Chains A and B, each alone.
Chain A
Amino acid sequence: MKVPFSVKKIIYVHLVEFFDKVGQIVHFSGRFFKDLFTPPFEWQEILNQTFTLGYKSFPLIGVTAFIVGTVFTMQSYPTMASLGATSWIPTMISISIVREIGPLITALIFAGKVGSGIGAELGSMKVTEQIDAMKVSGTKPINYLVVTRVIATSLAVPLLVIYTDLISFMGSYFALSREKDITLSLYLNQVLNSLDFQDVIPSIFKSFVFGFAIGMVSCYQGFYADKGTKGVGKAANTSVVISSFLIFLIDLIMVQIVNFLFN
């Protein structure tokens, strides 16, 4: 029986596709950075996108953050209690949430909600040739569609991470106060005492990079979506998958950079 496609051919095709994608992304990023500093600056659209992508994501991320804080405390309490170290829970919660869980959870939810939205929106605009129409009408689509969204996501994620951290602390206090007699002021004091600049600043910077990556990937996927409704779905789906993968990859790289810089 003859195999229709040889393994070599499959690898070759995928490699070509991969490098083609890499080339397109580099080209797209180049256009983004070029148009970022090129007028017209779409301030109004940046505000609109920040509101749509950031503010409107707040309820979902807030609820998730509260649940994460509560569950994290409830899960760790029995182990810490068996070690007689329940007084260390605020310290443990604050460091783990600020350094890792807060940015990661926020970025993943943001990628799921916003990344797919951007991919689908731009994809459908591509399919319905609205982007081409913009070009014809003299509006720069990269400026109007991509730069605004990427700036919005880059600003929204750090802001959302700050809220996530705070709400997670509240959730953690809610769970801890059910098990242990602790005042809110003592809890917040212990949380803040255990934090340092090298915990907060890299976390905010990391969130900014997460937001930028989600925006860029989603815009790219939408901007270069395949024709047809299938292409729109694929763009939305791929935006989420690649963004989520990139979040973990960036996280890994950022940990190395932070450790190199601060330790």
Chain B
Amino acid sequence: MKDKIKLGLFVILGVLILILGLYFIGARENLFSSSLKVEACFSNAAGIQKGSEVQFVGIHVGSVEAINIIDDSTVCLRMRIDEDQAKFITKDAIAQIGSEGLMGNKLVNITPGSAKSDNIEDGDKLSTKEPVKVEAIMESVMENSKNLEKFTANLAKISEDLLQGKGLAGKLLTDTTSEVRIESIITEMELVAGNLHDVSRGAEDVVDKISSGQGTLGKLVYDESMSKDMDQMMDSLNHATHKLNLTLKNLSEFSKKLNEGEGAAAMLVNDTTMAQNLNKTIIEAKQRSVELEKTIDIINESWILNLFNKNKNNPERGE
């Protein structure tokens, strides 16, 4: 009887361990929990197998239930997603094929969509993002390595040229005579640097003076009375400008009137007959003035009048 109990325990315990093991494996594949079935199509699903893991933000949420080849460039994966976890996945979530670490198994990774979108439902089709192909990475690496190879070859050539003293840099390294030149250049540069130092010190002094309000510039910057004078000057200038504007305006009006022929001045400018008359009058006036001069001369020279003007040539009288 005792042996039978022992045997019974031995068998039951063994079977229980097996069942538990199978249950955990099944639970991982969502066989014993309620789940949703969603689909995602890729152009390449390399490495994905039936039962491959499905992760949402890196957490296990389901497994791949079936793999269907639709055409020569489309493979659709039907995934079983745990219903409890499905409430976090929205309709605009994106499925992508990834892997567990660098060498791990391939899996489907779902990245979250927007919070505004509705949750996924049974039979939904998720949008996908194509996986980064290892071949593409390798091609890029190959190209980079080729470039690196060229670069190192060029570098080797440059270093060889340098050692052989080719080019300016090579001469600098190998030509001993250039040392003297370089030294003189350095000396000149030291002098220039010294001068620059002096200049900078001078500039520093100027800035110090300006800062301390010395000199015209300093006063201009820091002296308040000068700034007031400046303000007044600016006001005067403003006033003068205003008056100049008025004068110009008047002048403009005058010239306008002159052009339009209003007033005596305009008639003088615009009326030609009047101008001719005026001209004639002036000529006549000139003739009359000549005649008047002559008459005056005659009068002056007449003896009758000289009798009344005896002191005419006496300088002492002070005329």
Which positions in A face B, CB cutoff 8 Å?
47-48, 50-51, 54-55, 58, 155, 158-160, 162-163, 166, 192-193, 195-197, 200, 204
Contact = CB atoms under 8 A, between A and B. Distances in A.
A163 B14 contact: yes
Query: Counting chain A CB atoms within 10 Å of each CB, which of B4, B10, B17, B28 scores highest?
Result: B10
Which 7 pairs across A and B sit closest by C-beta, in order of nearness?
Answer: A159-B14, A51-B7, A192-B24, A162-B14, A55-B10, A162-B18, A51-B3
Is chain B's interface secondary structure helix, strand, loop, or mixed overall? helix
Interface in B1-58: 3-4, 6-7, 10-11, 14-15, 17-18, 21-22, 24-26, 28, 51
Given A162-B17, A163-B17, A204-B18, A47 B4 contact: yes
Interface residues of B, number: 17
Contact of A197 (B3, B4, B15, B25): B25
A55 B4 CA distance: 10
Contacts of A160: 14
A159 B24 contact: no
A146 B99 CA distance: 52
Contact of A159 (B3, B10, B25): B10
A193 B14 CA distance: 20
Interface of B: 3-4, 6-7, 10-11, 14-15, 17-18, 21-22, 24-26, 28, 51
B22 A197 contact: yes
B21 A54 contact: no
20 contacts: A47-B4, A51-B4, A51-B6, A54-B10, A55-B6, A58-B10, A155-B11, A160-B14, A162-B15, A162-B18, A166-B17, A192-B21, A192-B24, A193-B28, A195-B21, A196-B25, A196-B51, A200-B21, A200-B22, A204-B18
Nearest to B18: A162
Contacts of A58: 10
Contacts of A155: 11
Contacts of B6: 51, 55
Contacts of B25: 192, 195-197, 200
Contacts of B15: 159, 162
B188 to A, nearest CB: 59
Is chain A's interface secondary structure helix, strand, loop, or mixed overall? helix
Nearest to A193: B28
A50 B11 CA distance: 10
Nearest to B14: A159
A197 B50 CA distance: 12
Contacts of A204: 18
Nearest to A194: B105
A163 B10 CA distance: 10
Nearest to A44: B4
Contacts of A158: 14
Nearest to B60: A193
A158 to B, nearest CB: 8
Nearest to B23: A192
Contacts of B4: 47, 51
Given A48-B3, A196-B25, 4 more contacts: A50-B11, A58-B10, A162-B14, A197-B25
Contacts of B18: 162, 200, 204
Contacts of A200: 18, 21-22, 25
Contacts of B17: 162-163, 166
A134 to B, nearest CB: 23
Contacts of B24: 192
A211 B86 CA distance: 45
A125 to B, nearest CB: 22
Contacts of A48: 3
A193 B22 CA distance: 11
